[in-house]
Amino acid sequence: MRETSPYKPVKQKRQALLLFLFAFLALALGFFGNLKWGQAHVSLLTLYEAVTFQGEDKAHLYIQTLRLPRTITAAIVGVHLALAGLLTQLATRNPLASPHIFGINAGASLAVVSGLVLVDGLSLFGSVAFAFAGASLGALLVWALAGSQQQKQYVRLALAGIAVHFLLSSLTEGMIILNQHSTDSMMFWLVGSTSEAAWDDVAALLPFTAAGLAALTAMIPSFRLLILDDAVAAGLGGRVALVRSVAVLLVIALSGSAVAICGPIGFLCLIVPHIARYLIGEKLTLLVPLTALLGACLLIYADLISKFIAFPFESPVGIVTAAIGGPFFIYLARKQRRNAA
Amino acid sequence: MRKRIAILLAALLFLVLASISLRVGAVPVPLRELWASLTLQDSPASYIVLQYRLPRVIVAALAGFGLAVAGVILQSVIRNPLASPDVIGITKGAGFTAAIVIFLFPGAPSYVLPAAAFTGAVGALLILVLLSRKMTLPPSSFALVGVAVGAVFQAGIQYLLVKHPSDVNMALLWMSGSLWGRGWDHVRLLLPWIAVLLPVAWLGYAKLNVLQLGDEGSAALGLNVPKQRLLLLLIAIGLTGSSVAAVGSIGFIGLIAPHMARLLVGGRHQWLLPLAALIGADLMLIGDIAGRVLIIPREVPVGITTAVIGAPYFIYLLRRERLKAA
């Protein structure tokens, strides 16, 4: 795969620095936009006072308890999903892979919905635990399917993963009917949305973000093995199977916690690693932070769009990411053929 | 002989399932009363059976016929075992335009709905043809592109659902397909399309058989390949569009019914088409019955139960394809 890789080689240091600067700026801009624009009009002064926790008006409270946690959650979930996507692509060495395509998100979603139906008054941490169980189930299914995976089986494996995804989300729909939720929460658990995020959610997510990022940073040297051929990596003394398992565990932790809070937001995890790789190359020390940054960026902007496409109704942000990600996925699926030929 | 037996058995199964479907539900109707309620207007259960269950069974059967036959035609014309109206995104395209009519033009006359769904299905196929370099992509890449096209249309359907909040049953109808609340109106809407297109499709069996030989082989036998392919595709799309207009975008029936039929009677289309149609209707009824008796008095939409039956079969199919390739 590497010799046919269409991505540009590692860029110069200055270019990389510029890229990061630009991504940061875009993120800050998106953050500001998400706080400023929404269903209610908020003046710049009120916004400033609210963010610095000076005012106690209704408008200030609105920003502090609704928009601010929502925006922060969107950013964190973006980071989680983008990194989970990158790790899945590394671990399976499949450019079409992502937790969404492989049914990991749908598995987590199914488990959380089952938890909500079966256990009365499920706590936030309880639902995170359920999400982990479900994400592991999805990962196991794919692992079983990928058992005898050979090179150039990318497309087939992606198709199998999508079948798993369809199956699990159908079961989720069935579970929702058992509980007779309203349409809104049904869309939430099928498509993914940030609209109900509160400070509790941020607090529930942050430990996983911190632990995930720390583990990821520590493991970057080992993850380099996954870029190599299995035989070559083993020849260099690497324990490929172990490293791969750690990567899968990280994927489960990152996407499971994200799904528990925001539902299965699709396609983001697929496209962000590709964009980042295109921009900066394969070097993991640069690729990982840029992927995280771009993930946060993309989800924040998608969230902003989702507030307005059906104004004054909120749309689940997953609709926006599917509308953006679907065409990109088509592009990738078609490119596979060009590479294989 | 074996072929005749297979078709006979499928037809028998269909009758059994249809009578079960008329009997079970929130109000069970005993077998003895079933005949009375079908023939006598004033028997106690006749209102339920005649006004609710009978049209529902008919719609399920017609949609099962339509989707399964469309699946056979698509798999043969595209020569792709993974093709089917739902995998390649055609049902989602049809569902999208049907949802547009339902939500944006609620006052439109009922015959507009299948026409709109047909337009959406044609649109989805056109997009797919353009994206897949006139269908020259290898089978699984083609299927994957179709899945993605379907995902984009699905996002569109979801957008309409959010923009026009409605109840859960309505939403599920357009997301995964459902027989909820289908009545005589829908029978009238679906019947003409299926009644015309099904025989036309069956009459095309010779062309479908010849197309299996490949483009050059078919042309050498005197078949105008591009023209026939277009005609057959239009039939498939008409069947898909009208079925989706009535029951929403039900998945997996169009994919697995043709495969099951092919296992039983082989690739000759004069046998394959009727058997696949019957199996499609059987699957629909099984899905519907299961959905109705699992949690009385609520019902699980048939689209969910068919996915639960169909997705594992699809994965099995993929594995078998892989083994064959290896």
- List, for residues A233-252, the tens digit of each pLDDT value: 777 777 788 888 889 899 99
> Does A330 lie at the interface with B, CB-CB under 8 angstroms?
yes
pLDDT digits (tens, 9 = 90+) for A9-53: 555 778 889 999 999 999 999 999 988 888 777 888 888 888 787
Q: What is the pLDDT of residue B258?
A: 94
* B100-119: average pLDDT: 84
- What single DSSP character describes residue A11? P
Q: Report the mean per-residue pLDDT for chain A.
A: 83
pLDDT band at A150, cuts 50/70/90? Answer: low
* B282-307: average pLDDT: 86
Contact between B132 and B142 under an 8 Å Cβ cutoff? The reply is yes
Mutate to test the interface with B, among A155, A176, A267 (most CBs of B within 10 A): A155
Q: What is the pLDDT of residue A4?
A: 46
Q: Going from the N-terminus, what domains does chain B have, and what CATH number goes with each?
A: 2-325 (1.10.3470.10)
What is the percentage of chain A residues whose pLDDT exceeds 90?
Answer: 30
Report A:130-169 residues touching B (Cβ under 8 A): 145, 150, 153, 155-156, 158-160, 162-164, 166-167
Contact between A173 and A190 under an 8 Å Cβ cutoff? The reply is yes
More confident residue, B139 or A301: A301
Q: Over 90: is that where the pLDDT of A100 sits?
A: no
Task: Give the number of C-alpha atoms closer than 13 A to the C-alpha of residue B154, restricted to the C-beta side.
Answer: 28
pLDDT band at B60, cuts 50/70/90? Answer: very high
- Is A326–B155 a contact, with Cβ atoms under 8 angstroms apart? yes
- Please return the burial class of A4, using the count of CB atoms within 10 Å of its CB with bins 0-12, 13-18 and 19+: exposed
pLDDT band at A79, cuts 50/70/90? Answer: very high
Q: Which residue has the tokens 């595709």?
A: B233
pTM of the full structure: 0.84
Gyration radius of chain B's alpha carbons: 19
Q: Over 60: is that where the pLDDT of B171 sits?
A: yes
* B308-319: average pLDDT: 82
Q: What is the pLDDT of residue B167?
A: 66
Interface pTM, i.e. ipTM: 0.80
- Is A180–B168 a contact, with Cβ atoms under 8 angstroms apart? yes
- B-chain CB neighbours of A177 within 8 Å are 168, 172, 295, 298-301
Among A70-74, B129-133, B207-211, where is mean pLDDT lowest?
Answer: B129-133
Architecture of domain A13-340: Orthogonal Bundle (1.10)
* A261-288: average pLDDT: 90
- What single DSSP character describes residue B26? S
Could you give the C-alpha distances from A157 to A87, A115, A248, B75, B152, in angstroms and in order? 17, 29, 16, 20, 21
pLDDT band at A7, cuts 50/70/90? Answer: low
Q: Over 60: is that where the pLDDT of A341 sits?
A: no
pLDDT band at B123, cuts 50/70/90? Answer: very high
Contact between B240 and B68 under an 8 Å Cβ cutoff? The reply is no
Q: b/e per residue, B173-197, with b = 16+ CB within 10 A?
A: bbbbbbbbebeeebbebbeebbeeb
Q: List the one residue out of A90, A96, A81 whose CA is nearest residue A248.
A: A90
Question: Which residue in B131, B138, B161 is closest to A330 by CB distance?
Answer: B131
Task: Give the number of C-alpha atoms closer than 13 A to the C-alpha of residue B66, restricted to the C-beta side.
Answer: 35
Among A56-65, A79-88, B5-14, B255-264, where is mean pLDDT lowest?
Answer: A56-65
Could you give the C-alpha distances from A289 to A23, A83, A184, A193, B223, in angstroms and in order? 11, 9, 34, 24, 58
Mutate to test the interface with B, among A148, A330, A338, A339 (most CBs of B within 10 A): A330
